[in-house]
Amino acid sequence: MTQNRKKILVLLVDDHKLVRTGIRFTLEQSNIREEIDRIDEAENGEMAVKMDFLSNYDLIFMDINMPFKDGIKTTAEIKNQNKNAKIIALSMINDQFEIRSMLKAGASGYLLKDTGSEVLEACVRKVLDGGNYFSNDVALTLMEPSNLDLMDADRLKPGSLKLKESGLTKRELEVLTLIAKEYTNEEISDKLSLSKRTVDSHRQNILRKTDAKNTAGLIKFAFRLGII
């Protein structure tokens, strides 16, 4: 981070207070604490947009999977009103579609929520200096071949899509299969040894990728893929 920079305003956006508290603690114990003027918190996207309109934050940590308005939409709205904001995406999911969607919305960094304090600090320094930062696992995911551009709603006819063309990760296909078999989130959690929050994150990602509105739409999509 360059010297003589003005002290920065930071906003933590996450619907879980425990996550916000953890990031706040990490920042307050880091080597950049003296360069921070204030750290505010928002528990949802709507609140984040309103708070940024009033304060023009320099650095924003943005959870992706939030109710009502996800981090992708929130990031796009904030960047539209505050082009200088540096936004770092936070997620439990290392998913190429999600990563690229956040980058397209205007994020400068992408971190998994199990990231250590040293990586988080390195990310902050990088994005505030105008660069982009991805943790190693995320960078490797971005380098993988993408099938996302193969998704075309006009071509969604029964049996016409191959699994590899679906745009879904292997884990998302597993979750979709169980959804189509009428498993509940709790049952999927037990069967795949995942937390309920992770299952819900996968479900929201699948809904977004398939443009489905509800479980019925997911079942139709699963039928088109030929997995049921």
Average pLDDT of the chain, as a whole number: 84
Q: Give the HSE-up count for residue 107: Cα atoms under 13 Å, Cβ half-sphere.
A: 27
Taking only the tens place, the pLDDT of each residue in 64-93 is 988 888 899 999 999 999 999 999 999 988
174 or 228, which is more confident?
A: 174
Indicate the pairing of strand 36-42 with strand 59-63.
unpaired
Do 8-143 and 148-225 share a fold?
Answer: yes
Provide the pLDDT for residue 98.
82
Superfamily of domain 148-225: Response regulator (3.40.50.2300)
Taking only the tens place, the pLDDT of each residue in 19-62 is 999 999 999 999 999 999 999 999 999 999 999 999 999 999 99
Domain ranges (residues) in the chain: 8-143, 148-225
Name the band, by pLDDT with cuts 50, 70 and 90, for residue 163. Answer: low
Asked if pLDDT for residue 182 goes beyond 70, the answer is yes
Asked if pLDDT for residue 211 goes beyond 70, the answer is yes
Topology of domain 8-143 in CATH is Rossmann fold (3.40.50)
